[in-house]
């Protein structure tokens, strides 16, 4: 049925089979995994993203019952759920978007804590979960917001808060302390790398670049320049230092380096999509100046040109370094796919 595109019939077949397995074998048995995955795909093909969402959470609970937090397969399971949350968030699946951010932070924090409890606070197996948490902090930093009514917290709500209100309060705390929480996550990553005597100079340099990028993202330019120089010097102790410096600092790079803002499979509710080619200067502070939109022509697509200017003015870059010194970069030409 699934192969023939008969998705509604396939859904009913999978639902009945899963129900029988739960009755006969128990709630979270591994034998359900393949059918739940097919059920999710069928819902997705039908455009029933709400139903797919429920099954994604159920699939995660099944897999979590049978995998150790440090198991590489568990990391894949976590990233699958995290990518779904991110996709649903960017695709505006929910009426209120902020719970997805809280769920993502909790997902990564819980897994990092579980690894720490079983292997120690400086276990390297925490690093992928801390990296995921940092990606979420980048998402949160540009949160578009809900209406004032949705996020307004009054004094009398604090004493009689129900669960949704508690999540709302937690989200407001995360949003208000976004910069500090990001720093805390990076410093925890740095502590793990520095505590391991087998860490290479490039691993230490990489975590310093993450710190510099976070400073840069929040326009703490002096701190960013200082840390980028520290990363450059730290890499010098590695035989592959030249290639590392070329990759990280030979040209301005858009921040963040991860693809956290790229939409996933779920359709994003936007009206226009335009490819914009631009030439500009990137300053020592990682800002685009002297912006010139090369295409499309203003007469052909004024909205895209206007949006392109705004996009680049808001963009933050990791600046170029020469011999460890941050410098400006002229005549940078890039092409961007802008959705608006």
Chain segment 100-109, per-residue pLDDT in tens? 999 999 999 9
End-to-end CA distance of the chain: 38
Residue 263: CB atoms within 10 Å: 15
Contact 93, 53 (CB under 8 A): yes
Rounded to an integer, the average pLDDT of 4-21 is 89
Closest CA to 175 of 137, 210, 133: 137
Amino acid 7: pLDDT = 84
State the Cα–Cα distance between residues 91 and 86, nearest whole angstrom.
8
- Higher pLDDT among residues 270 and 331, named by residue: 331
- With vertex at residue 244, the alpha carbon angle to CA 239 and CA 249, rounded to the nearest 5 degrees, is 140
Task: Judge whether residue 155 has pLDDT over 90.
Answer: no
CA 73 to centroid of chain Cα atoms: 20
278: phi then psi, degrees, rounded to nearest 5:
-140, 155
Q: What tokens were used for 222? A: 């002096």
Amino acid 156: pLDDT = 40
pLDDT band at 158 (very low <50, low <70, confident <90, very high): very low
Does a cis peptide bond (omega within 30 degrees of 0) precede residue 326? no
105: phi then psi, degrees, rounded to nearest 5:
-60, -45
State the Cα–Cα distance between residues 192 and 27, nearest whole angstrom.
37
Residues 6+ apart with CB under 8 A from 38: 2, 10, 14
Rounded to an integer, the average pLDDT of 70-97 is 91
The order of strands in the sheet holding 288-295 is 288-295, 273-282, 329-339
240: phi then psi, degrees, rounded to nearest 5:
-100, 25
Mean pLDDT computed over every residue of the chain: 90
pLDDT digits (tens, 9 = 90+) for 298-317: 878 899 999 999 999 999 99
Amino acid 308: pLDDT = 93
pLDDT digits (tens, 9 = 90+) for 246-263: 999 999 999 998 777 876
State the Cα–Cα distance between residues 53 and 92, nearest whole angstrom.
13
Contact 290, 298 (CB under 8 A): no
pLDDT digits (tens, 9 = 90+) for 38-79: 999 999 889 899 999 999 999 999 999 999 999 999 999 999
pLDDT digits (tens, 9 = 90+) for 189-217: 999 999 999 999 999 999 999 999 999 99
pTM of the model: 0.88
Q: What residues does 335 pair with on adjacent strands?
A: 277
State the Cα–Cα distance between residues 25 and 316, nearest whole angstrom.
53
Rounded to an integer, the average pLDDT of 224-239 is 97
pLDDT band at 269 (very low <50, low <70, confident <90, very high): low
Q: What tokens were used for 123? A: 């276990």
State the Cα–Cα distance between residues 58 and 162, nearest whole angstrom.
24
- With vertex at residue 316, the alpha carbon angle to CA 310 and CA 320, rounded to the nearest 5 degrees, is 130
Residues 6+ apart with CB under 8 A from 165: 153, 157
Amino acid 201: pLDDT = 97
Cα dihedral 115, 119, 125, 130, rounded to 10, equals 50
- Higher pLDDT among residues 135 and 338, named by residue: 135
State the Cα–Cα distance between residues 87 and 81, nearest whole angstrom.
10
> How many angstroms separate the most distant Cα atoms in the chain?
68
Residue 244: CB atoms within 10 Å: 20
Pairing of strands 320-322, 317-318: unpaired
Rounded to an integer, the average pLDDT of 218-225 is 97
Q: What tokens were used for 301? A: 């697509």
């Amino acid at each position: 049925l699934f192969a023939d595109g008969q998705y509604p019939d396939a859904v009913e077949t999978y639902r009945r089979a899963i129900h029988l397995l739960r009755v006969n074998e128990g709630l979270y048995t591994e034998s359900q995994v393949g059918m739940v995955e097919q059920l999710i795909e069928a819902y997705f093909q039908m455009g029933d993203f709400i139903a797919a969402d429920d099954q994604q959470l159920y699939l995660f609970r099944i897999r979590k019952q049978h995998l150790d937090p440090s198991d590489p397969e568990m990391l894949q399971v976590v990233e699958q759920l995290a990518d779904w949350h991110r996709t649903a968030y960017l695709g505006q699946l929910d009426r209120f978007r902020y719970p997805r951010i809280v769920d993502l932070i909790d997902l990564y924090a819980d897994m990092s804590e579980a690894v720490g409890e079983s292997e120690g606070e400086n276990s390297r197996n925490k690093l992928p979960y801390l990296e995921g948490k940092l990606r979420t902090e980048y998402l949160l930093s540009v949160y578009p917001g809900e209406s004032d009514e949705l996020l307004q917290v009054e004094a009398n709500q604090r004493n009689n808060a129900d669960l949704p209100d508690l999540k709302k309060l937690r989200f407001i705390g995360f949003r208000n302390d976004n910069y500090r929480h990001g720093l805390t996550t990076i410093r925890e990553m740095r502590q793990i790398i520095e505590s391991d005597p087998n860490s290479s100079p490039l691993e230490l340099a990489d975590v310093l670049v993450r710190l510099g990028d976070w400073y840069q993202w929040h326009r703490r330019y002096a701190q960013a320049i200082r840390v980028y120089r520290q990363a450059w010097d730290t890499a010098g102790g590695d035989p592959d230092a030249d290639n590392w410096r070329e990759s990280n600092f030979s040209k301005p790079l858009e921040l963040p380096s991860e693809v956290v803002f790229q939409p996933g499979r779920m359709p994003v509710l936007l009206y226009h999509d335009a490819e914009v080619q631009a030439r500009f200067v990137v300053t020592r502070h990682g800002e685009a100046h002297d912006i010139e939109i090369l295409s499309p022509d203003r007469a052909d697509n004024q909205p895209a040109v206007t949006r392109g200017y705004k996009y680049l003015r808001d963009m933050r870059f990791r600046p170029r370094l020469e011999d460890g010194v941050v410098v400006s970069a002229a005549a940078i030409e890039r092409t961007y796919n802008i959705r608006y």
